[in-house]
Each structure stands twice: as C-alpha cells, then as structure tokens.
C-alpha cells in the first residue's frame, strides 16, 4: 500500500472523516487544494492540480464536492487533499492525505541496486505501475 501523507496507515476515510479534516484545516485558515496522479512514486512531488486552490473557505462541503468531482473524473487515480498554511514564515503544506486509491491491488515498487566506482552502491525505486502508459496504469 502506498503510504503517503498524514493518516496513510489508517483505513480509507469516508466522507464524514474527510469533512472533519477539512473543517479542521479551514478552522486553521489553511487553503485547500486537490491533486491526482497515476504515478504515486514517493519522490513524485508534481501531482496534477484539480481546479484552483480554494482560499477563504468557510464550509467544508464546497471542498468535499470538488473532491467527489475529481474522484468521479479520475476513478483510477490517486487523489489527495492538501491544506496550505500561507502564514508568513510558514508557507507550506500543513496537512496532506490521500482520499482515493485506484481499485484493486497496488503493485508496489522495484528496488534497483547499482554499483559504482570506489565500492559505492546506488539505489533507485521504480513503480511497477509505470510499466503501463500514463492514464492506463490502474485497471
């Protein structure tokens, strides 16, 4: 299982759990954004943004509706929610969690090991899902 973001070791959240986290983030004054990808490699920091970040939200239902639309449009992608803290001196993602995983098994990663000069060893992770073309990685 892909373990990225907060709550990654917990069972999949339902709408009430997601809404509770959105309510908390909105209460902190954080902006909400939704992202999706079919390449969840731990170093893939560039997921596709769904719409624009939502600033100045007062009702978590608006963000929850956008999450539902994204999940319906991309049923075989990972979808995550980010909460951005824009306070001066912070300006960072304060909360991030996955709200949708592709159906079926998550194929995992292959560890590739290489050797270099001076007895150095190099390691790389390759997602098994990337053996398929973008958009068809999870079926």
Tell me the pLDDT tens digit for each residue of 76-98: 899 999 999 988 888 899 999 99
The CA distance from 134 to 98, in Å, is 20
Residue 5's SS3 state is strand
Q: What is the model's pTM?
A: 0.75
The CA distance from 2 to 103, in Å, is 13
Q: Which residues are bridge partners to 54 per DSSP?
A: 32
The CA distance from 123 to 74, in Å, is 32
State yes or no: pLDDT of 100 exceeds 70. Answer: yes
Which domains are delineated in the chain?
15-106 (3.30.190.10)
Kindly list the distances between the CA atom of residue 74 and the CA atoms of 2, 38, 63, 128, 137, in Å, as whole numbers in the listed order: 18, 9, 16, 20, 12
pLDDT of 48-82, one tens digit each? 999 999 998 999 999 999 999 999 999 989 999 99
Which of the 8 DSSP states describes residue 99? E
Residue 2's SS3 state is coil
Other C-beta atoms lying within 10 Å of the C-beta of residue 35 = 18
The CA distance from 130 to 109, in Å, is 10
CA 27 to chain centre: 21
């Amino acid at each position: 299982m892909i373990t990225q973001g907060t709550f990654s070791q917990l069972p999949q959240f339902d709408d009430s759990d997601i809404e509770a986290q959105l309510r908390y983030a909105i209460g902190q004054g954080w902006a909400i954004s939704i992202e999706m990808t079919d390449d969840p490699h731990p170093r893939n920091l560039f997921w596709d943004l769904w719409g624009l970040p939502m600033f100045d939200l007062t009702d978590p239902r608006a963000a929850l509706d956008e999450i539902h639309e994204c999940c319906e449009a991309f049923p075989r992608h990972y979808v995550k929610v980010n909460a951005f803290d824009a306070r001066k001196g912070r300006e960072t993602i304060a909360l991030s969690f996955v709200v949708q995983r592709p159906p079926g098994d998550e194929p995992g990663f292959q560890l590739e090991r290489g050797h270099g000069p001076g007895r150095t060893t190099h390691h790389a992770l390759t997602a098994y899902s990337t053996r398929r073309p973008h958009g068809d990685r999870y079926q």
